[in-house]
Structure 1
Amino acid sequence: MADAILPDARAVSASISLCEQDGKILSWPAYRAAVFTLRQQVRVVERDEAWHALRIADAFRHAVISAPVLFSGGVDSSTIALLANGTWGRANKGGRGLFVITVGARDAPDVVEARAASKALGLRQLVVDIDQEMLKATIPKVVAITKSADVTRISVGLVTYVGLAAAKREGYRLVQAGLGSEELFAGYRRHRQAEDLEDACWQGLLSMYHRDLLRDIAIADALGVRVHAPFLRLNVVQVAMQVPARYRIVEGTQKHVFRMTAEHMGLPANICWRKKLAAQYGSRMVREMRKLSRREGHATMRDYLGSLLFDLGTMHERRVWAVAKEIPEGSVSTYGEIARIIGSSPRTVGHALTKNPYSWVPCHRVIKSDGSLGGFARGMEEKQRLLRSEGVSVLRGKVITPSAGDEKPKNKDSQKVSLRPV
């Protein structure tokens, strides 16, 4: 695998730079296959945490390039900026510090912390303030690009879109971001609850395309900007996954081994160990979206986003289609699950799906709670064929492992369909 630094941050084609191998950027299928192979080969190395931190530091230094950074002031983006800043002056003929972009409301935690971190690291920071008028103009663009009305996907996507658009206005077509860190080092809430933390990290890495990368690739391509993801380089993945699970979460502190790594590389301790909110909350993006939704006359953010995504159908039909749109390939949901999310009934959900005019809303992934296939406008044989082509097991007209969530969502804005891979 070649770890060559990409030289020109102002003239690079659009995509997500997952990894380079033999001078070529890997496609997601090729990258996923490489990660799957690593999973078969990599074994946990039983050494102390400091030893692992040194190995991660060495791999990560080779993964970071001399290019601007989407900067929140957290340990991930700050470590990337710390390393990139060391080569920025040489690459830019002694110019001022590394250029970083921060997105958020004026009082957002990410903005406050990023300002302090930028000053401490000697960076050249651009803060893009989000306000209601800017969001009203930008949200429809992100909804159209991602073809999604999911609140989490859009709120995170907005942070990415605004940051990349700002970089492009400044003349940069290559930007670095911290994609993948949460999966490698157990940064999500679900990792705290995982019975097998090592397996949860591998599974998250292998499934992040549909959850994160597909959204970010679409945004980057739409803007003509490329995103470089140092954490997703295969050499970084390899050394990270050799770390024993007990070093990922230590006494409740998540990503412990990477925080130790960052401190070893010279990042100030207060930045290394600061707890950070997810991007959509740390930037106050969700708060501002909620304000705008109400101002535009919608009870929930999901309703507002659905009104932008779908220009046909009734409000109820649009809400059904918006939820069904988020069911990933290889998974199913039920009429009942969707009904619980939008506060409707399974029968009316089924009726709305029969009227779906959009080819990118996967109606065939919605089944009955007993596992039987339910209806489909193009016939049951076609529904069964589509499900099987996506890896879903169907036997005698029933999905073998149906999804049947029992809990009623507490928050209609943030609750996703309870999806179960089959």
Structure 2
Amino acid sequence: MKHELPVANHVISLISELQNAGFEAYIVGGAIRDLLLGRTPKDYDISTSATPEEVRGVFGRRIARIIGKRFRLVHVQYGGELFEVSTFRKAPTQGQLRPDGRPAKDLPEHMILSDNEFGSAEEDAWRRDFTVNALFYDPVRSELIDYTGQGIGDIRAGIVRAIGNPKLRFEEDPVRMLRALKLVGQYDFALDCATENALFNSLELIRHAAPSRLSLELEKILSSSYGDKHILAFHDYGLLAYYLPELEEAWGTPAGMFALNLLNERNCRVAEGLYRNSISLAMATLALPFVELECDHGPGELWEMSPESTARIRSVLDRLFRPQTMMNRMTESALRVLILQALFADPENLDRMVETKSYAHARELLLIRTAVMDGDVDAAARLWPAGSSGRRRSGKRPRRRKNPKEGKKSDA
């Protein structure tokens, strides 16, 4: 069907190059969903009939790089933006072998371990996870294709519907449960009945997902300005107990609620453009109340800096995000941000702090904490000015989203 969507010119140009080389090419997935909802996509994914090698041949080795084993695709640097360009896939042949050929023991029968069987655009649509993610758009011809016949309607109705058998979809790839609930949290969508029932009955399958993929999803959640809403959806549907059990165990406690309120405030500031979407700052923000608790202090109370407190901070960062494995540089950065919090108790520490590597993020966390505790953010910003190496940011408090509430359930 003909449909005009406001796609950036350099994206249209990239699609045109593939089409002019004789290949089919479309924008796929979340970008179309966002455009139909009147939102600006954070990125564009491209799908094409060209193989990864053919994509590289069109754009050249200098700007096109083939990545991945389980799912091979091409990173194309184009128009100042990085695009993921994938080849149309079809449903893979079932086989319990890992990509390296070793037997896959004790895994769900239908779990997909390799997804590199190429197919047509329609085959690619039917093997995707949810109808709202299975739309294809050709911006050159302004053509919107909905192979499932339900994607456009489900976007308008706010429904997350698995394509085909929901139980099979989650068994094929348990990470799809995370993605379903991220849609619930971020867009206020609801799961349709069959998808919801299958998800409730499949929660334990998340243990079988590749640790690297689960950790990558957590990085995306923490970098997003909707991370608090994602976490709330995980809790509402019972997934948080498997994904971040330490946080689930603290749900409803003073420390747990303070952590979610802090993350909510940080996310508001990211959405307002006041802060960058730093993963390490998000880690430190979530961990702060548990560090206070570990150091025998209440919410908002600073602890004394000491080798013992540093060890306790490291212990909290390790436990809170387990069983996911965060990159060491992110953990170390979050550690430095939290260590510096104790020094904010005395303005005399400014000179020794202001040029330290993590002062900018530590100051941001100070302002977040001050805002959540209804303190004077502007006064704190003046007392602790931005360092010469940090970006100067307004201390003005942005509009806050509704705080997460214990026991709040999705409409699904």
TM range (shorter): under 0.3
Q: TM-score, normalised by structure 1?
A: 0.27
Higher relative contact order at CA 8 Å, sep ≥6: structure 1 or structure 2? Answer: 1
Q: TM-score, normalised by structure 2?
A: 0.27
